[in-house]
């Protein structure tokens, strides 16, 4: 537990005192909890100061996560003189149901075909010598909106009408005199 507190000390200048304290309680709870990770689950595993209402307040705040990620990476990166790569990868998580945000059909290399689920794109910094990776950005990939199938237009039927003693037939391009009506 002390290791996480030591790592997160680099965030102290970026966060206000209350948010920093809440982050410490939440991160320690995440390390010891089992089962699904929900706000209620985190609050059940949290030490004093980690009520459900505290979780709601923390997750409702606007926090600049890219600057927090960068600070953690900078603090734990070590010697930047080695080979550092930027790598990206997409992953698909199979999911059933109809109400999950971003649900669509995405290609899965495991199944070698498109499967129903959600997809994420992740960018990471890789330190080749230390064989470590630091994710810097993770975003959900949204499916393409379904295109409505356009109905084929029906051809206009030829309409006939009688004018005086001539039968006139209407066609797309104009009017054609057909024959005299008998």
Would you list the DSSP string of 112-142? TEEEEEEEEEEEEEEETTTTEEEEEEEEEEP
The H or E element that residue 31 is part of is helix 17-32
Total number of domains in the chain: 2
Q: 2 and 73 share a domain? A: yes
Q: 50 and 109 share a domain? A: no
pLDDT at 158 exceeding the cut of 70: no
Q: What's residue 53's pLDDT?
A: 95
> Helix or strand or coil: residue 166?
strand
Q: Establish if 126 belongs to a structural domain.
A: yes
> Helix or strand or coil: residue 171?
strand
Q: 36 and 97 share a domain? A: no
Q: 27 and 87 share a domain? A: no
Q: 70 and 86 share a domain? A: no
Q: Establish if 181 belongs to a structural domain.
A: no
Q: 88 and 38 share a domain? A: no
Sequence-separated (6 or more) residues with CB below 8 Å from residue 56: 39
Provide the pLDDT confidence category of residue 179 given band limits of 50, 70 and 90. very low
Sequence-separated (6 or more) residues with CB below 8 Å from residue 119: 90, 91, 92, 93, 102, 104, 106, 140, 141
Q: Could you report the per-residue pLDDT of 109-126, keeping only the tens digit for each? A: 889 999 999 999 999 988
Query: Among residues 52, 77, 102, which one ends one of the domains?
Result: 77
Q: Establish if 150 belongs to a structural domain.
A: no
The region, left, alpha or beta by phi > 0 then psi within -120 to 50, assigned to residue 49 is left
Q: Is the dihedral of CA 106, 141, 61, 134 positive or negative?
A: positive
pLDDT at 81 exceeding the cut of 70: yes
Q: 3 and 60 share a domain? A: yes
Instruction: Tell how strand 132-141 and strand 104-108 pair up.
Output: unpaired
Q: Establish if 129 belongs to a structural domain.
A: yes
Q: Which tokens in the block code for residue 153?
A: 């237009």
pLDDT at 172 exceeding the cut of 80: no
Return d(Cα 44, Cα 56) in angstroms, integer. Answer: 13
Q: 68 and 97 share a domain? A: no
Query: Among residues 40, 61, 77, which one ends one of the domains?
Result: 77
The pTM assigned to this predicted structure is 0.57
Query: Among residues 77, 110, 134, which one ends one of the domains?
Result: 77
Q: 58 and 35 share a domain? A: yes
Domain holding 127, by residue range, is 81-144
């Amino acid at each position: 537990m002390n290791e996480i507190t030591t790592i997160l000390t680099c965030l102290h200048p970026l966060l206000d005192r209350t948010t920093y304290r809440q982050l410490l309680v939440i991160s320690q709870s995440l390390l010891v909890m089992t089962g699904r990770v929900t706000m209620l689950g985190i609050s059940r595993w949290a030490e004093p100061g980690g009520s459900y209402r505290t979780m709601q307040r923390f997750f409702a705040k606007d926090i600049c996560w890219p600057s927090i990620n960068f600070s953690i990476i900078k603090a734990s990166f070590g010697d930047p003189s080695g080979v550092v790569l930027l790598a990206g990868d997409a992953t698909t998580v199979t999911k059933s149901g109809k109400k999950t945000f971003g649900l669509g059909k995405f290609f899965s290399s495991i199944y070698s075909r498109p499967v129903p689920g959600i997809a994420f794109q992740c960018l990471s910094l890789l330190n080749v010598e230390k064989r470590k990776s630091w994710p810097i950005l993770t975003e959900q990939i949204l499916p393409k909106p379904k295109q409505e199938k356009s109905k084929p237009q029906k051809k206009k039927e030829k309409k006939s009408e009688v004018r005086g003693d001539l039968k006139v037939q209407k066609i797309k391009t104009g009017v054609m005199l057909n024959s005299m009506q008998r």
